[in-house]
Amino acid sequence: MLLKAFLIAIKEIRRNILRSILTVLGIVIGVASVIGMVMLGDGTTASVKANIEKLGTNMLILRVGQERRGGPRTDNSAKPFKLTDVAAIKNQIDNLKAVAPDNSTGVNLIYLNKSYTSSVVGTNNDYFVIKDWKLKDGRYFDDSELNSGKSSCILGTTIVKQLFGDENPVGAKIRLKSFSCNVIGVLESKGASTFGQDQDEIVVVPIRMLQRKIQGNKDVKSIVISVNSNKNIKRAKEDIKLLMQNRRAIKVGESDNFYIRDMEDLLSSMTSTTKMLTYLLGSIAAISLLVGGIGIMNIMLVSVTERTKEIGIRLAIGAMESEVLLQFLVEAIVLSTLGGIIGIILGISIGYLGVSSFDLPFIINEKIILIAFLFSTLIGVVFGYFPARKAARLNPIDALRYE
């Protein structure tokens, strides 16, 4: 009986092929939207995770203020770090690979008749170890430059392109604010960061030079730390916390006026956010499946009206209500299932084109594909039941008289 109902359903769908195509269009668009959105979201999540892991999951960031819900906030009443804090962490904490101050500010750069505004970072040579940043040309800072705050700088490739073009900048002098700075090196290109920021738009200078000639004070805004192994991160965080509580004279029961973040925290926070957005977009796209279901119900009601006399004849010669109900229910399910299959193919194609356009990883989420397909089939069952029930409950005599 089920096979017979299926064959009749196929026959009816083929008889009104254009109407059938328009009927399943809502399901196709809904399933394709859900799969495409989730594929883009999963690709974005994977890209964010990969970019953060490039920074090194064994990196810690120590900052002034308190970390609160909604993100860290600067506490202006908290005293800033000093270079002595950097030295204390490096000398007193075990299992560390490198420790560097990280002061950043925007400065206008000038070379000949060209100018460019960029981020200038004051730090030491450990910064390049922590960030895994190699030199393309030139050299790192020597001890005399770091200790005296001599005006030397290392440029990112974007700065070189903007100010020097194809010219080799090593040995040249550029102006930072009102003083000149000798270019001693060029960093290898890193491209865009996780947040879309150009990492090569950077000028690195000795921290003492930045403090004396740009900041006008001896404050250190943040400290970046690299632990020699992931397994030692938790212990290192605890040791650094105790050391800073002691150095900053924080009493028992008082809140810390500093916080430590590791890349695992950032990785977890970013991936959970992108996943939440992915499923939010997927849920919004799923609404179109309901619209498609309403379309199926509408067309099936029209079909019942058109085939009223046929239904009356079947009931008059002995067909049971359950058989008529099954017939129209199968037609609705075939339409929604067909739309689901086409939607899956279209959704994967759209997702592939999308991730390729944004240079994201191509990830097929089998779970979402299965859910979208089952949901489209369920739509057929739910929205096809009411027209099918209407057909099954027709009075045979009234149906035979219908014109």
Highest mean pLDDT among 55-64, 139-148, 380-389: 139-148
Residue 214 pLDDT exceeds 70: yes
Average pLDDT, the chain: 86
| Beta pairing partners, 59 | 226
For the stretch 114-129, pLDDT in tens is 999 999 999 999 999 9
Residue 30: its pLDDT value, please?
Answer: 87
Residue 63 has pLDDT above 60, yes or no: yes
Q: How confident is the model at residue 306 (pLDDT cuts 50, 70, 90)?
A: confident
- 241 and 260 Cβ atoms separated by less than 8 Å: yes
Q: What is the pTM of this model?
A: 0.63
The H-or-E segment that residue 187 falls in is: strand 179-187
pLDDT tens, 332-370?
888 889 999 999 999 999 999 998 988 888 999 898 899
Within 10 A of 242 (CB to CB), how many other CB atoms are there? Answer: 11
State the pairing for strand pair 179-187/152-155: parallel
Region of 396 (left: φ > 0; alpha: ψ -120 to 50; beta: rest) is alpha
The model's confidence at residue 72, banded by pLDDT at 50, 70 and 90, is very low
Whether the predicted pLDDT of 74 surpasses 80: no
- The partner residues of 375 in beta bridges, in order of sequence, read none
Least Cα distance to 59 among 146, 126, 154, 156 occurs for 126
Alpha-carbon span 356 to 51, nearest angstrom: 17
Which pLDDT value is given to residue 235? 92
Q: Which residue has the higher pLDDT, 88 or 149?
A: 88
Q: State the Cα–Cα distance between residues 316 and 310, nearest whole angstrom.
A: 10
Q: What is the pLDDT of residue 195?
A: 60
Is the separation of the CB atoms in 347 and 32 below 8 Å?
Answer: yes
pLDDT of the residue at 77: 63
Query: 55 falls in which pLDDT band (50, 70, 90)?
Result: low
- Decide if pLDDT at 275 tops 80: no
Render the burial of 86-125: b for 16+ CB within 10 Å, e for the rest.
bebbbeebeebbbbbbbbeeebebebeeeebebbbbbbbb
pLDDT value for 402: 64
Residue-wise pLDDT tens digits, 221-253: 999 999 988 788 889 999 999 999 999 998 888
What pLDDT, on the 0 to 100 scale, is given for residue 177? Answer: 82
Please determine, for residue 56, whether its predicted confidence score (pLDDT) is greater than 80. Answer: no
Q: Could you give the percent of the chain with pLDDT greater than 70?
A: 92
- What average pLDDT does this structure show over 59-82? 73
Whether the CB-CB separation of 356 and 362 falls below 8 Å is answered with: yes
pLDDT in tens, 312-321: 888 888 888 8
